[in-house]
Structure formats: structure tokens, C-alpha cells
Amino acid sequence: MRRLSTSLLIALLITIQLSCSRGSSARSQPAPPPPPDEQTIIDQILQRYEQALGGREAIDSVTTQRMKGTFQLRNMAGSIQGWSKDPNKTLVVIDFPRIGTLKKGFDGETHWVQTPAGTVSDSSPQEIAELDRDAAVYSAGKIKGLFESMKLDNKAKLNGRDVDVIEGKPAKGPAEKLYFDVENGLLVRWDMARREEGRGTVFVKVHLDDYKQVGGLKVPFKIRFAFESFDLLVQVNELEHNVPIDDAIFRKP
């Protein structure tokens, strides 16, 4: 919804006052409705996003998800798999050629990371929040619950297209930005915060593209994580909803 600027509002008020001062012979015009408040606009953007994905009913109908794909990182290519299960169980497995396997999981109580060297560690509070948002990239329509508060940012353009921008403040870490295509309502970019050892917090621009329908629900099949000095491109090849998943795969090794 197009927002009215302050100068335009002032001009409208002056016009209304002039028309009223012309005397009883002039027909009085009803005052224009007040512009929607910020929270209303945010709710409208998020509701339109839900509808673009397939609707709230379709989103809520998904209780499990299995994903298989590939990734490209500089001159390296490998495979990536992901599983998720309500409530709040996730596992991502990334196989690096000649290096080994990285696993990130959450069993509903414990977040853990297993490196290619085989070491297992619990995650810090900010890393836990980052894992939640990583999972949300592949899970349609569940981003609102990841933020304690949201506020409207200025409109912008991405690749020549108009986007609505919402800034969300998570419980842990700095605020992040979400970019929604004005024309189709889909989330096209998500500027996520990441904590890197020795560098503090950095931002990763997550580009979401190639939305496809899976069981009546639209999901991005091409996801590019743009870091400062390199890109990580994930191509989803297989995606299934509501498949049986054993809880044991989410537990810490």
C-alpha cells in the first residue's frame, strides 16, 4: 500500500480547509481516510506474503520437510540435505569434498554443531538464533515468530523491482532486514546477522529466487548467501513435505 508523505498530507489538509471556506454554496467533500499506521502496513505486507506462498492453511499443514540439494562455494561444490519437524526440530548436513561433513541440529532442547573433524559443541545464544533463521529460509511463512519487534523501513529497489522493507529485531543479535517484492508479495532478500570468530557480527544478504510450488505451497529453490568476500549458492533439487522423520536424527551425537 502506497504511503502518503508528510507534504502530501499537509497539501490535502489545506485543500480541505479552502473548500470549506468557500461558503455554503460549495459542496463539502468528506475528509480522506487517515493513512494506515505502521503496524497495519507491516501486517498487510506479511499477510500478502502468506497469500503469495499459498495461504495460511497450506503453510500450517506442513509438519515435516525433507530437502536435498547442492551447493557451490568458490571453486568447491558439494551436497546439502535438510530435515525439519514440528515443533522446532531441524538438521542440516553439508558434505564438503575432501574435507568432510558438517552437521547443525536442534532436537527441541539442545542446539549442536558437529564439524568435519568430528568435534561436537553446543551453540551460543546468538548461534542458536542464527540456526533458527537458517531453517526459516527453507520453511515457508514462519519468519514472523523469529522477531521480538518489527518496524517499517523505506521502500527500495532490487534488480529494478520495487520492494517493501521491514526491519526485524530478534531476541539475540542486531536487527535484520526483510525485502518483499511489491508486485508478487514474495520474500526476495533477507539480510541476516552472523557472528564470525575474531570479527564480531557481519551481515549476510540471503537472496531467495526460483520459487516453485510443492503441494500447493511456494518455496524458493535457489538461495544465495552473499558474504562480504564470497557467495554460497544452494540449489534445491528435491523437496518433500509431511514425510515420516525419526526424532533420533535431530539428537546430539
Residue-wise pLDDT tens digits, 194-236: 766 566 677 889 999 999 999 889 999 999 989 888 898 999 9
d(C-alpha 202, C-alpha 173), whole Å: 11
Task: List, in sequence order, every beta strand (DSSP E) within the chain.
Answer: 64-73, 76-85, 89-96, 100-106, 111-114, 120-122, 149-152, 156-158, 161-169, 176-181, 187-196, 200-214, 217-226, 231-241
> Given this model, what pLDDT does residue 72 score?
92
| Contact call for residues 244 and 85 (beta carbons, < 8 A) | no
Cell 520459487 -> residue: 211
d(C-alpha 176, C-alpha 143), whole Å: 12
Query: Which residues neighbour 174 within 8 Å (Cβ) at sequence distance 6 or greater?
Result: 193, 201
With cut-offs at 50, 70 and 90, classify the pLDDT of residue 78: very high
d(C-alpha 66, C-alpha 229), whole Å: 30
The angle subtended at Cα 235 by Cα 81 and Cα 49, nearest 5°, is 95
- Spell out the alpha helix ranges (H) of 36-180: 38-53, 56-60, 125-138
- Note whether 73 and 158 are same-domain residues: yes
What total of structural domains would you count in the chain?
2
- Note whether 179 and 62 are same-domain residues: yes
- Note whether 2 and 74 are same-domain residues: no
> Given this model, what pLDDT does residue 21 score?
31
- Note whether 1 and 49 are same-domain residues: no
- Note whether 51 and 163 are same-domain residues: yes
- Tens-place pLDDT, residues 240-251: 999 999 999 999
With cut-offs at 50, 70 and 90, classify the pLDDT of residue 133: low
The CATH number for 64's domain is 2.50.20.10
The angle subtended at Cα 117 by Cα 114 and Cα 118, nearest 5°, is 45
> Given this model, what pLDDT does residue 13 score?
27
Q: Containing domain of residue 27, as a range?
A: 1-35
Cell 475528509 -> residue: 31
> Given this model, what pLDDT does residue 2 score?
37
> Given this model, what pLDDT does residue 197 score?
58
- Note whether 70 and 44 are same-domain residues: yes
Cell 533463521 -> residue: 133
> Given this model, what pLDDT does residue 5 score?
36
Across the range 80-90, mean pLDDT stands at 89
